[in-house]
Amino acid sequence: MSLLVKGGTVIGPTGAQPADVLVEGEKIAALLDPSYSQTVQADEVIDATGKYVIPGGIDAHTHMELPFGGTAASDTFETGTRAAAWGGTTTIIDFAVQRTGEVVQDGLAAWHAKAEGNCHIDYAFHMILGGVDTDALKAMDQLVADEGITSFKLFMAYPGVFYSDDGQILRAMQTARENGAMIMMHAENGIAIDVLVQQALARGETDPIYHGITRPAALETEATSRAITLASVAQDCPLYIVHLSASGALEAVAEARDQGRNVFAETCPQYLYLTLEDQLGAPGFEGAKWVCSTPLRSKHEPHAKDLWKGLRSNDLAVVSTDHCPFCFKDQKELGVGDFSKIPNGIGGVEHRVDLIYQGVVDGQLSLERWVETIATTPARMFGLYPQKGIVAPGSDADLVVYDPNGTTRIGVETHHMNMDYSAYEGTEIAGRVDTVVSRGEVIVADGNYHGRKGRGKYLRRGLSSYLV
């Protein structure tokens, strides 16, 4: 089966060029000069005239079915990967979970069982370590060597749930330094946050807004700096800060990067577009819809502006979603009367490609930087490149035809995520996902869905190819 994507402008991290993309089976066979490809025969032709052709999006941070706060994230691997496909994302890297007290490999097996046979697009896993001990350190080596899992997430937040202390973090970093893995860090000082949370509740401050107020930016900055220091003590273990939201944390990352260190960070669309004031303005308990950690920040501080700048300078290398959806009814509502019981998370896996394209329209990012932050760098960062993340011969034919003249209106009535609200309700994007190809198969076209569950494959990842 061959496919020719004709007439478009192919965007990669190093530039844009008019080219036709020839796909043979699951792979890209060639990028052709448009005048030459008049003579090429293909079984199927997609007209991309006036449109961009980009590599399928890679969302390196999702939580399908994550058990959290007495409930579980509302997208299954089936619904979540289908929504991702609708939005131009053709690969996710989800977080498998070792719960505290559980054998790492058992946690991984449980995650494979959830995903296998259910995914609409290709998927890989990071591993959350819920308890660093000698067995977990050995398991890290085994996962890198045998399972294609080359990144491990640790938490400086959530004492009693996922939390690791500094000694545990240092040991995991030393192990990663040896086996080449990436340490991913949820950098918030959870011990101090828990004190602030208890004090707020004791004062009767129970509304959703106190979630953000009790997680101040200073405690993200402090934890980020501490993680960076610990990574330096571990002989420059590769470190990736997840869901970075605060200017001060970004400064700490930038400083380490200016020293030439293997310190990287991602941000998420919610920190670029949504603010604490949006949450404060919501009536009644509805602010719970925007409860996530790290929290939304105040528009009266320069965080969002600085994050866009960080994306331009590569101090922020990746945009992921931290897709962790909960319905308002019965899930977010668990926190009525006590904000600390609101399950943390925002669903957005469907909207990342569009929301960051809006940054191009708004003059925040170049087209090339859009593609780099949503596809190419995540692939390189997490050992999927060049199979994924680039429109080039030999790579998987994961393509998005993006229409800069289209419009997308985000809302609960039209989204495909399993959520009863949208955190971005009413947002309009000056662009539109037109066609999505996953390993040579057209899965979204003309506003219709042609994929099916189970077609997505598990990807074994290599080590990061992004290290300096």
Contact positions toward Zn ion, by CB under 5 A?
A: 186, 254, 258, 322
Based on the shown chain and the rule CB under 6 A, indicate whether residue 345 belongs to the binding site for ligand DUC. yes
Contact 428, 409 (CB under 8 A): yes
Nearest to 389 by CA among 46, 57, 22: 57
Non-local (6+) Cβ contacts of 247 within 8 A are 217, 301, 302, 303, 306, 307
Considering beta carbons, is residue 290 or 308 the nearer one to ligand DUC?
290
The binder of 345, among ligand DUC, Zn ion, none, by C-beta within 5 to 8 A per type, is: ligand DUC
Can you tell me whether residue 180 is helix, strand or coil?
coil
Q: Which residues within the stretch 148-187 sit at the binding site for ligand DUC (CB under 6 A)?
A: 186
The runs of H, that is alpha helices, within 3-100 are: 77-86
Residues 6+ apart with CB under 8 A from 296: 212, 245, 270, 271, 274, 275, 276, 278, 279, 290
Per CB under 6 A, contacts with ligand DUC among 47-76 are 63, 68
Nearest distance from C-beta of residue 313 to Zn ion, angstroms: 6
Judged by beta carbon, residue 351 or residue 439, the one nearer ligand DUC is 351
Amino acid letter, 65:
E
Look at the block and give the residue holding tokens 């495909």. 416
- 227 vs 401 by CB, closer to ligand DUC: 227
Q: How far is the CB of 387 from ligand DUC (least distance, A)?
A: 28
Q: Tell me the torsion sign for CA atoms 431, 437, 438, 442.
A: positive
Return the axis-axis angle of helices 217-233 and 190-202, rounded to nearest 10°.
Answer: 160
Q: Write down the least CB distance from residue 72 to ligand DUC, Å.
A: 11
CB-CB contact of 438 with 90 (8 Å): yes
Q: Which residue has the tokens 């399950």?
A: 343
**Half-sphere exposure in the Cβ direction for 247 (13 Å, CA):** 11
Q: Which is nearer to ligand DUC, 70 or 260 (CB)?
A: 70
**Residue closer to Zn ion, measured from CB, 234 or 268:** 268
Residue located via tokens 């950098």: 187
Closer CB to ligand DUC, residue 322 or residue 434? Answer: 322
Q: How far is the CB of 63 from ligand DUC (least distance, A)?
A: 6
List the one residue from 292, 316, 318, 399 that touches ligand DUC (CB under 6 A). 292
Closest approach, Cβ 386 to ligand DUC, in A, equals 30
Q: Which tokens sit at 221?
A: 């900055």
Q: How far is the CB of 293 from ligand DUC (least distance, A)?
A: 4
In the bound complex, what is the minimum distance in angstroms from residue 333's beta carbon to ligand DUC?
A: 17
Shortest spacing between CB 123 and Zn ion, in angstroms: 15
Q: Give residue 187's identity as a one-letter amino acid code.
A: A
Count of positions on this chain that bind ligand DUC (CB under 6 A) = 9
Binding ligand DUC by CB under 6 A: which of 11, 173, 234, 324?
324
Q: Alpha carbon of 188 to those of 72, 163, 185, 304: distances in Å?
A: 22, 10, 9, 18
Give whichever of 31 and 250 is closer to ligand DUC, judged by the CB atom: 250
Smallest distance from the beta carbon of 40 to Zn ion, in angstroms?
44
Beta bridge partners of 3: 23, 44
* Shortest distance (Å) from residue 100 CB to Zn ion: 16
Q: What is the DSSP letter of 309?
A: H
Within 351-370, the residues that bind ligand DUC by CB under 6 A are: none
CA distance 308 to 310: 5
Which is nearest to 377 in space by CA: 240, 258, 249?
A: 240
Q: Which two tokens stand for residue 231?
A: 């990574």
Question: Considering beta carbons, is residue 181 or 324 the nearer one to ligand DUC?
Answer: 324
Name the maximum alpha-carbon separation found in the chain. 75
410 to 439: interface string for ligand DUC, x by CB under 6 A = ------------------------------
Binds ligand DUC (CB under 6 A): choice among 293, 387, 418, 427: 293
| Cβ neighbours of residue 67 closer than 8 Å, sequence gap 6 or more | 97
Cβ 316 to Zn ion, closest distance in Å? 11
Residue 236: which of Zn ion, ligand DUC, none does it interact with, CB under 5 to 8 A by kind?
Answer: none
Choosing among Zn ion, ligand DUC, none, which partner's interface includes residue 254 (Cβ < 5 to 8 Å by kind)?
Zn ion
Report the alpha-carbon distance of residue 176 to residue 182 in Å, rounded.
Answer: 6
Q: Report the residue number, 21 or 252, with the smaller CB distance to Zn ion.
A: 252
Residue 289 interacts with, from ligand DUC, Zn ion, none (CB under 5-8 Å by kind): none
Distance CA 274, CA 294 (A): 13
Binding flag, residue 344, ligand DUC (CB under 6 A): yes
Q: If contact means CB under 5 to 8 A according to the sort of partner, which of Zn ion, ligand DUC, none does residue 320 touch?
A: none
Beta strands in 15-66 (DSSP E): 15-18, 20-24, 27-32, 44-47, 52-55, 57-62
292 binds, among Zn ion, ligand DUC, none (CB under 5 to 8 A by kind): ligand DUC
Nearer to ligand DUC by Cβ, of 278 and 403: the residue is: 278
Nearer to ligand DUC, 249 or 324 (CB): 324
Rounded-to-integer distance, Cα 249 and Cα 303, Å? 10
The residue ranges that bind ligand DUC (CB under 6 A) are 63, 68, 186, 292-293, 322, 324, 344-345
